[in-house]
Amino acid sequence: MAELVQRYLDQICAEHSGLHDGELAGYIPELATVNPDGFGLTLSASDGYVYESGDTAVEFTIQSISKPFTYALAIDQIGEAAVDARIGVEPSGEAFNEISVDNVTKTPKNPMINAGAIAAVSLVPGADPDERFARIHDFYSACAGRRLDIDQDVYTSEKSTGNRNRAIAYMLTSFGVLQGDPDEVLDVYFRQCSIKVTSTDLARMATTLARGGFNPVTGQRVTDAPVVRRTLSVMVTCGMYEAAGDWVSAVGMPAKSGVGGGIAAVLPGQLGIGVYSPRLDAKGHSVRGVQVCRSLSARLGLHFLTVSRESSSALRAVYDSGPGIRVYEIQGDLLFTGAEQVLRTASRDCQDFDVAILEATGVDEIDDAARAMLTGMRASLAGAGKETYLVDPDGRVVSTDRGGDYDGTVFRTLDEAISAARQLI
């Protein structure tokens, strides 16, 4: 299996190795000095296992791929409402370096363009620029699972030429979006853009997002799922700037590109991808990186809106175990839709049995909505004069300490539940 995936990756890299379109990002002089042919592709599974192809050890600067991570950190630290008061979530359809704010709110339209990203830096708590940068640096490193370094040459190069970003920061100050000294905020922004990563670091950082803020390699919870949900949302709508619509249609993964040549893409719950190839298109995206992501998505079926799962997959089996006893075996990761389907099936058929046994041994993860539906099944079938027994040895549905208010009987095995049901009938 591992070789199969590796072969896919190698093949996709080989197919795109002849693509030399695009230009290095010359507007930051130091970025024009890199090897234009560098090409690395890394795919990280949700457990952190990585597949690497090409120049996956070559370091390059993270540039705008830093933006979703600083945005996540700002939300993590000061909360969504405080961040929303300063940065919108609407796609701007504009270039990454547009000097603009929303006409009505006078705040940056979203955190993925430079204006929103500079505002996000200012929202990360810190007594001075060093402390603020240290927080950001620690956060990125925790997402990558290793201590990342900064490229001093790129930092100096961008700092000495970044007048457009200076214009943006001073504009934001005039609208009251930035507090304090705009040059200090910019200094932190230039530093964060100059952090060095490899395609493997990007894949790992993407996987930390794919796992809802949990780094599967280090075992560290870096941030919480709601923070990640918001971050991925803006990556979907704004991460690829004015190419966001095309990207979502063709690739279908929340993603962010950077003018250093990197792209990080996230398939929520499943995997993270990092690509490096520094020749850029006119919108600032890696030409080869975009093509590789398109191919990967198409070949491996990674589009996040692919409707693949049958809703019936929550129910593994339904059968009778003697007269009046019906067993519903449920499995996998249960969300609202899966639990709703179990409940509706049991309610529809309830004239056929006296006792329903909900066999939940095969449940892996279950969210609160699904849990509420399943624990409510007993009360809803009781209205029709039916009993419900639950087989839940691992406490997935009803925690073993009975923290909730479930008043039904929970069995450790299906056999115990069936014999209890026989006695009842």
| Residues in contact with ligand GLU by the rule CB under 6 A | 63-64, 96-97, 114, 158, 165, 193, 258-259, 284
Residue 75 CB partners (closer than 8 Å, separation 6+): 83, 227, 230, 231
Q: Which is nearer to ligand GLU, 190 or 353 (CB)?
A: 190
Contacts of residue 363, defined as CB under 8 A and 6 or more positions apart, other chains included, come to 330, 331, 332, 334, 392, 396, 397
Give the list of residues 6+ apart from residue 77 with CB closer than 8 angstroms, or none.
123, 124, 125, 135
Amino acid letter, residue 202 = L
Output the smallest distance, CB 96 to ligand GLU, in A.
Answer: 4
CB of 240 to ligand GLU, least distance (A): 10
Count the Cβ atoms, other than its own, within 10 Å of residue 53: 22
Specify whether 106 is catalytic: no
Catalytic residue among 50, 67, 277, 286: 67
Q: Does residue 64 carry a catalytic annotation?
A: yes
Given the complex with ligand GLU, which of 122 and 165 has the nearer CB atom?
165
In the set 228, 259, 327, 397, the catalytic residue is 259
Helix residue ranges per DSSP H, 62-113:
66-78, 80-84
389 included as an active-site residue: no
Instruction: Find the residue with minimal CB distance to ligand GLU.
Output: 64
Closest CB to ligand GLU among residues 88, 284: 284
User: Shortest approach of ligand GLU to residue 97 CB, angstroms?
Assistant: 5
CA torsion, points 197, 61, 226, 249, in degrees to nearest 10?
-100
Rg (the chain; Cα; Å): 26
Q: In the complex, what is the shortest distance from the CB of residue 69 to ligand GLU, in angstroms, rounded to a whole number?
A: 13
Residue 49 is among the residues annotated as catalytic for this protein: no
Q: CB of residue 150 vs ligand GLU: minimum separation in angstroms?
A: 13
Q: What's the DSSP call for residue 404?
A: S
How far is 112 from 110, CA to CA, in rounded Å? 6
Q: Based on CB atoms, which residue is closest to ligand GLU, 213 or 258?
A: 258
φ/ψ of residue 197, rounded to 5: -135, 165
Cβ burial, residue 219 (10 Å; 0-12/13-18/19+) = exposed
Catalytic residue among 44, 64, 141, 297: 64
Beta carbon nearer to ligand GLU, 42 or 192: 192
Q: Is 363 a catalytic residue?
A: no
CA 262 – CA 266 distance, rounded (Å): 13
Active site residues: 64, 67, 189, 241, 259
